[in-house]
Amino acid sequence: MSNYLEATNELYRKAAIAPDVGLCCTTTPIWQLPGLEIPGIMKEMNYGCGSTVHARDLVNNPKVLYVGVGGGMELLQFSYFNRNNGGIIGVDVLNEMLEASAQNFKEAELLNPWFSSKFVDLRLGDALNLPIDDESIDVAAQNCVFNIFKTDDLKKALAESYRVLKPHGRLVMSDPICNQEMSDKLRNDDRLRAMCLTGAIPLSKYVDMITEAGFGTVEIRAKRPYRVLDPEKYATDELVYIESIEVCAIKDPMPADGPCIFTGKTAIYYGEEDVFDDRKGHLLLQNQPLSVCDKTANALSNLGRSDIFVSESTYFYDGGGCC
């Protein structure tokens, strides 16, 4: 095992035994759902940078895989949508984290009469070699895990996620990203990488690696401020700004003209006709916004029309778009 992964395991082994509230900075509110109560210990062990729980991904009792179980909070949230024994699989490389999560489920059962620990199948395993059958998962998720991996390991983790997903299955992720250069000293600091700070890569590289793994559709659902690394405390000559993104990669076939990537662009037709038809499958109703993938946004912009507005990327995409 690589030294940086050993350092990561040691950091989170300690966090499993003694919760470290400040270890990660969650930038999204915890889901509030009717009849769902999150135990305090799970909140303390919420070592993520966003959320991977989205109701639109979780219809029809999906088989869910969650990599890096933490204190079990997101496993509990996923169980809200699939209340079948073994319907949710949680994989972690650390026995200590699996044991902590299992213990936390006992408290969750007391707070949530509908919940049973049997809903969750906890497995010892590695994101780089998942103990999961091929094409057996509807939704896979990870929160602030993949950013820790260096390039070759990140490729393996994405390939493993792709392998276990059913066709059209979804990989939902939350990770820090950073579009600035970082010093080698920062990049090579194993502890800072384990703390989800210095493994952050540019968004464009992150998306490229996802599509290179074979995912035909990528949705950038949210982008938020995460952390800053300042020269007074870190080995950097300038302030480094890190953001957190939420992404859904869908195991759709790869289109002949390349992946469909949604970064929150919108097209609006405001011409004289009731509708604009580009003859390529896109209908724009007069003065009605239509979410479009980046390919379609570029194609519409290249038409050179004065009656079509195409927005810049908002990095907020909530579905319903056209590719």
Q: Which amino acid is at 208?
A: D
**Cβ neighbour number for residue 285 with a 10 Å cutoff:** 13
Q: Which residues pair with 292 in a beta bridge?
A: 265, 322
User: In the structure encoding, which two tokens stand for residue 188, read together?
Assistant: 């090579």
Cα dihedral angle (73, 179, 291, 220), rounded to 10 degrees?
-20
pLDDT level of residue 286 (50, 70, 90 thresholds): very high
Q: In this predicted model, what pLDDT tens digit does every residue of 212-235 receive, in sequence order?
A: 999 999 999 999 999 999 999 999
**Residues near 90 by beta carbon (within 8 Å), at least 6 away in sequence:** 66, 69, 72, 75, 98, 101, 120, 121, 122, 123
pLDDT recorded at residue 27:
54
Q: In this predicted model, what pLDDT tens digit does every residue of 197-217 receive, in sequence order?
A: 999 999 999 999 999 999 999
Q: What are phi and psi of 174, to 5 degrees?
A: -130, 125
How much of the chain is helix, strand and coil, in % rounded to 5? 30, 25, 45
Pinpoint the alpha helices (H) of 213-319.
Answer: 294-301
Concatenated DSSP letters of 91-160 = EES-HHHHHHHHHHHHHHHHH-TT--GGGEEEEE-BTTB-SS-TT-EEEEEEES-GGGS-HHHHHHHHHH
In whole angstroms, give the CA distance from residue 251 to residue 222.
Answer: 20
Q: In this predicted model, what pLDDT tens digit does every residue of 18-64 receive, in sequence order?
A: 887 667 655 566 777 899 999 999 998 988 888 888 889 999 999 99
Domain 3-250, what fold?
Rossmann fold (3.40.50)
pLDDT recorded at residue 20:
74
Angle at 24 between CA 219 and CA 207, to 5 degrees: 25
In whole angstroms, give the CA distance from residue 27 to residue 48.
Answer: 9
User: In the structure encoding, which two tokens stand for residue 33, read together?
Assistant: 């759902």
pLDDT recorded at residue 19:
83
Q: In this predicted model, what pLDDT tens digit does every residue of 98-147 receive, in sequence order?
A: 999 999 999 999 999 999 999 999 999 999 999 999 999 999 999 999 99
